[in-house]
Chain A
Amino acid sequence: MKIAVQTEAFDLAAEVGALYQANPKVGAVASFLGLVRDINEGQGVSTMSLEHYPGMTEKALIQIVAEARQRWEVLDATVIHRVGTLQPTEPIVLVAVASSHRGDAFAACEFIMDFLKTRAPFWKKEVTPAGEHWVDARESDDRAAARWSR
């Protein structure tokens, strides 16, 4: 399992490859790549600034992956989340899950992403020529995470 919070970019192919190249039991890897969207709708250049709670962020991500492993067959998993200043189109988060079969890989990947969005302490601030503002949490993210309640 790899959990990383970093400012640097990551290599998608290398990260996904590392989940299966040394493990012939892996039959499926599902991955999710989150990108910085230009939500400023073309009104000048906007950037995204990411803050996190060092220590708790990593702890929360480890707990989320551990819970996914209890629910599905997960052979390995990688979660990388970037912090600092990011431009539109830049990758911000990668969740990749290796399993024997696609069903478990898809479900665990979506579960980890839904809980990352509602439980892991990251905060986005949008910076535009007109000023900066903190991005509001979305109720739809809470509903997405609530779907997994048993």
Chain B
Amino acid sequence: MKVRLLYFARLREVFATGQETPELPAAVQTLADLLDWLRQRGGAWAEELAEGRAYRVAINQDLAERDAALHENDEVAIFPPVTGG
């Protein structure tokens, strides 16, 4: 399954990328699986996406919970808590 990953603000800077379109292993079916898969990259990925760190995830531009299922071509965005207004 292929998904489009987007990173914003501080996470975009520490990951040194704003977007990527990885081919996910078959075992990655949910948002929680995807986050585990990204943490396995180590370094900033493991640190920033660790349990307990404050970040938000949206699937197709709606905030999503960790048990949400992923689908082909989903747009998944990972970003820090928002600070607009």
A-to-B contact residues, CB < 8 Å = 34, 50-53, 55-56, 59-60, 81, 92-93, 113, 116-125, 134-138, 141
Contacts and interface: CB of A to CB of B under 8 A. Distances in A.
Closest 10 CB pairs of A and B: A122-B84, A137-B81, A123-B9, A56-B61, A117-B85, A134-B10, A124-B83, A135-B83, A59-B61, A116-B85
A35 to B, nearest CB: 11
B6 interface: yes
A117 B82 contact: yes
Contacts of B54: 137
Interface string B69-85: 00000000101111111
B84 A53 contact: no
Given A113-B85, A123-B79, 8 more contacts: A51-B8, A59-B61, A120-B85, A121-B84, A122-B85, A123-B9, A124-B83, A137-B54
Nearest to A120: B84
B81 A53 contact: no
Contacts of A117: 82-85
Contacts, number: 71
A118 B63 CA distance: 12
B72 to A, nearest CB: 19
B61 A123 contact: no
B58 interface: yes
Given A56-B58, A59-B61, A122 B77 contact: no
A52 B6 CA distance: 12
Interface in B32-85: 54, 58, 61-63, 77, 79-85
B82 A121 contact: yes
A121 B8 contact: yes
